């Protein structure tokens, strides 16, 4: 059992890590279009930090390729930001392309439409078109969701390899939210296999009580799954409608979005 001294030590370590992270990020904030390169002494002066401390933070940034050192001893932003910029542009492009198609899909189904992407070990709602008949659903723009629950998330997970699924269990990301949550490995793997075979995911009260959803993958020109498109609504209303109605509308909409990716 952890005693008070140990708790104090842990808290101090966390505060120290937070302060260190803030100082490291402060270096990145110094760069802009009119000031693309900086020396250690310039950084130290601007941040009122000793040069030895600046060197330590720069070393971390260099190792992660956020900072580059020039031949004359100056520092500039690294190429890692180019990769990150491509991700942001891709997501923004996807939203621009998908939004009008999602609105049409909402009008056709009269239910909530969700566009999601994977971010490491979670799913993130990139955009959502709420039905006029609102429901209590976790997915709202910017919302973070588990990958193993809900149609929109499971579609993203289905085309990942099994080592990634294993890592979700090993790192403790798999949890039971509701009785229908897929928190056992065999059940989850079998469900993901079915999703790949059938081309769509189905969820019934896996993360939101009273909510049923269908989801399909969105692929880019390389046939890589880059997002999921799903329709969600109240259980009593969704189950009255034939599943083919939702799946057909989802797939037709998905194909229209993929034409621009």
pLDDT in tens, 199-225: 999 999 999 999 999 999 999 988 999
Report pTM: 0.68
Checking if the pLDDT of 7 tops 90, the result is no
Instruction: Assess whether 141 and 35 both reside in one domain.
Output: no
What integer pLDDT is reported at residue 95 of this predicted model? 87
Tell me phi and psi for residue 234, to 5 degrees: -60, 140
Q: Is the pLDDT of residue 96 over 80?
A: yes
pLDDT for 13-63, tens place per residue? Answer: 444 445 578 888 999 999 988 889 999 999 999 999 999 999 999 999 999
What confidence tens digit (pLDDT) does each residue in 137-176 have?
656 777 889 999 999 999 999 999 989 999 999 999 999 9
Lowest-confidence range among 80-84, 130-134, 226-230, 247-251? 130-134
Q: Which of 102, 103, 107 is closest to 216 using CA atoms?
A: 102
Q: Both tokens of residue 82?
A: 């180019």
Statement to judge: residues 102 and 131 lie in one domain:
yes
End-to-end CA distance of the chain: 54
> For the chain, what is the total number of helices (H) and then of strands (E)?
9, 8
Q: Which two tokens stand for residue 35?
A: 């000031």
Task: Decide which of 140 and 99 is more confident.
Answer: 99
Are 51 and 121 members of one domain?
no
Burial of 27 (0-12, 13-18, 19+ CB in 10 A): buried
- Residues 172, 243 within the same domain: yes
- Taking phi over 0 as left and psi of -120 to 50 as alpha, with beta for the rest, 75 belongs to beta
Say how far apart CA 244 and CA 246 lie, in whole Å.
5
> Where residue 75 sits, what CATH number does that domain have?
1.10.10.10
Residue 128 vs residue 6, higher pLDDT: 128
Tens digit of pLDDT for each residue in 187-203?
999 999 999 999 999 99
Same domain, residue pair 177 and 56: no
Q: Which residue(s) pair with 115 in the sheet? A: 127, 229
Residues 54 and 111 in one domain: no
Specify if 3 maps to a domain. Answer: no
Q: Last residue of some domain: 34, 52, 83?
A: 83
Q: What is the pLDDT of residue 68?
A: 93
Q: What value does the mean pLDDT take over residues 78-97?
A: 78
Contact 195, 158 (CB under 8 A): yes
Alpha-carbon gap, residue 165 to 159, rounded angstroms: 10
Q: Tell me the residue length of the chain.
A: 261
Q: The domain containing residue 32 runs over which residues? A: 18-83
pLDDT value for 198: 96
Q: pLDDT tens for residues 117-142? A: 998 899 999 899 988 776 656 567 77
Q: Token pair for residue 114?
A: 């969700």
The rounded distance, in Å, linking the Cα atoms of 211 and 174 is: 20
Q: How confident is the model at residue 74 (pLDDT cuts 50, 70, 90)?
A: very high
* Residue 8 within a domain: no
- How far is the C-alpha of 109 from the C-alpha of 99, rounded, in Å? 15
Confidence of residue 5 (pLDDT cuts 50, 70, 90): low
């Amino acid at each position: 059992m952890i005693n008070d001294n140990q708790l104090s030590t842990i808290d101090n370590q966390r505060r120290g890590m937070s302060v260190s992270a803030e100082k490291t990020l402060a270096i990145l904030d110094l760069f802009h279009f009119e000031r693309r390169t900086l020396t250690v002494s310039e950084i130290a002066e601007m941040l009122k930090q000793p040069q030895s401390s600046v060197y330590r933070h720069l070393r971390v940034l260099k190792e992660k390729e956020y900072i580059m050192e020039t031949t004359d001893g100056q520092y500039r932003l690294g190429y890692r930001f180019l990769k990150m910029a491509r991700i942001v542009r891709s997501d923004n492009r996807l939203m621009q392309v998908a939004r009008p198609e999602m609105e049409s899909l909402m009008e056709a189904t009269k239910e909530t439409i969700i566009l999601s992407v994977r971010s490491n070990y979670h799913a993130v709602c990139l955009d959502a078109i709420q039905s006029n008949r609102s429901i209590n659903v976790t997915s709202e723009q910017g919302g973070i969701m588990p990958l193993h629950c809900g149609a929109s998330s499971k579609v993203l997970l289905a085309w990942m390899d099994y080592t990634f699924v294993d890592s979700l269990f090993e790192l403790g990301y798999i949890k039971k939210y509701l009785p229908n949550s897929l928190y056992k490995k065999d059940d989850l793997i079998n469900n993901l296999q079915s999703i790949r075979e059938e081309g769509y995911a189905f969820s019934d009260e896996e993360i939101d009580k009273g909510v049923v959803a269908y989801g399909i993958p969105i692929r880019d020109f390389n046939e890589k799954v880059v997002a999921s498109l799903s329709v969600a609504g109240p259980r009593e209303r969704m189950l009255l409608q034939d599943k083919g109605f939702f799946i057909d509308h989802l797939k037709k909409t998905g194909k229209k979005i993929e034409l621009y990716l």
